[in-house]
């Protein structure tokens, strides 16, 4: 049975230890980073090797391909993509044109990712930054208006799915107010729930029908002052599954981020106990990978059904005009 874990890998080739680990644990997915990227054929071989080791084809293969400063696969393997802020600026002038460009360029990106073997992209970012927040979100945001973020986020998600790549909305229920980078520290947001409900939660509520979401390592003190959202049963049940109404595959942000504390196994246990379907561990450290696997169950029940639905969402393809999408990308970069 499938282990409720998405794991990173250490380098450009699968090591014997990693192959044994994947065969024994059969994780739900893998995620690749810059350290795993060499060439087009190398990426395809690495993904194929991981799937062979796991022993099945229905594996989630993730990458962070937002565009701008968060893009793992770049030229010459894949086209360089603009950051979300570029679409936000265009939206202020011509909303329809901005959404069309966002869709077409996401569709083009999905074609490239799918050809490499990826079927899931950690995008779009639906966070709403506020004045004074840490710039970890910054130009990764599609704007500061919920309506604008909803429109552009939906366009990107549609473009990805049309190219056979399932989107992951992040960082649910909202990272935009954080005054710290959760890779390095644990952010605490003291904003009242009633304010969060009518601002930060709105884009996630509007796109709650999408196939996957990633939680935030952020404490919302008015909801649960003791635990970040990713390890808070209260935030998951009351806000993410409750008020926002997100019913699809829920994964944690990276277990190895410094926002969390304690042993990796305890972190993995905590995100699953809080209500995530799968835990995400990214750094490719074998000892930590083993700990993470020990802290999560095999997928069953609703979690298994959500995993199956995410796999199905990554198998939808629609025809599109490649030339038009390429023109949109050129126009974006030249504007």
Alpha helices (H) along the chain: 16-25, 40-54, 84-93, 95-116, 146-162, 193-198, 201-206, 233-234, 264-274, 286-294, 301-313, 322-334
Predicted confidence at residue 141, as pLDDT, reads 96
- Tokens at residue 105, please? 């360029």
Compute the CA torsion angle 291, 295, 298, 303 (nearest 10 deg).
Answer: -130
Q: Cα separation of 107 and 121, whole Å?
A: 12
Positions of the chain with pLDDT lower than 50, given as ranges: none
pLDDT of residue 132: 81
pLDDT at 333: 80
Contact between 150 and 104 (Cβ < 8 Å): no
Q: Which long-range contacts (CB under 8 A, 24 or more apart) does 244-247 make?
A: 244/172, 244/173, 244/201, 244/204, 244/205, 244/208, 245/205, 245/208, 246/172, 246/204, 246/208, 246/213, 247/208, 247/306
Q: Which residues are catalytic?
A: 183, 253
Domain positions in the chain are 3-334
The answer to whether the CB of 160 falls within 8 A of the CB of 106 is: yes
pLDDT at 187: 87
**Mind listing the pLDDT tens digit for each residue in 212-265?**
999 999 999 999 999 999 999 999 999 999 999 999 999 999 999 988 999 999
CATH 2.60.40.2470 describes domain 3-334: no
Say what the pLDDT of residue 166 is: 97
pTM above 0.75, yes or no: yes
* pLDDT of amino acid 56: 95
Which residues on adjacent β-strands are paired with residue 74? none
Q: What is the pLDDT of residue 269?
A: 98
């Amino acid at each position: 049975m499938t282990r409720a874990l998405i794991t990173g890998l250490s380098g450009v080739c699968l090591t014997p230890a990693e192959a044994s680990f994947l065969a024994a644990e059969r994780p739900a997915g893998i995620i690749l980073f810059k350290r795993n990227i060499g060439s087009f054929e190398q990426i395809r071989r690495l993904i194929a090797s991981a799937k062979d080791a796991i022993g099945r084809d229905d594996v989630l293969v993730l990458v962070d391909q937002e565009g701008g400063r968060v893009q793992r696969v770049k030229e010459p393997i894949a086209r360089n993509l603009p950051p979300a802020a570029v679409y936000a600026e265009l939206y202020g002038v011509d909303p329809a044109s901005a959404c069309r460009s966002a869709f077409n360029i996401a569709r083009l990106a999905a074609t490239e990712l799918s050809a490499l073997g990826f079927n899931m992209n950690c995008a779009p970012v639906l966070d709403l930054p506020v004045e004074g927040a840490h710039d970890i979100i910054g130009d990764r945001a599609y704007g500061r208006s919920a309506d604008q973020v909803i429109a552009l986020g939906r366009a990107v998600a549609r473009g990805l799915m049309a190219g056979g790549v399932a989107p992951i909305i992040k960082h649910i229920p909202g990272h935009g107010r954080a005054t710290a980078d959760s890779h390095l520290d644990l952010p605490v947001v003291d904003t009242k729930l009633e304010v969060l409900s009518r601002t930060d939660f709105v884009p996630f509520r509007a796109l709650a029908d999408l196939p996957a979401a990633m939680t935030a390592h952020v404490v919302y003190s008015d909801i649960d002052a003791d635990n970040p959202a990713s390890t808070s049963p209260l935030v998951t049940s009351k806000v993410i599954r409750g008020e926002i109404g997100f019913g699809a595959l829920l994964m944690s942000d990276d277990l190895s981020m410094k926002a969390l504390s304690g042993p990796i196994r305890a972190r993995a246990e905590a995100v699953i106990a809080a209500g995530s379907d799968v835990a995400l561990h990214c750094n490719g450290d074998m000892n930590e990978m083993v700990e993470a696997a020990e802290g999560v169950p095999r997928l069953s029940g609703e979690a298994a059904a959500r995993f199956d639905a995410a796999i199905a969402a990554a198998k939808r393809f629609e025809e599109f005009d490649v030339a038009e999408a390429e023109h949109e990308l050129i126009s974006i970069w030249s504007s």
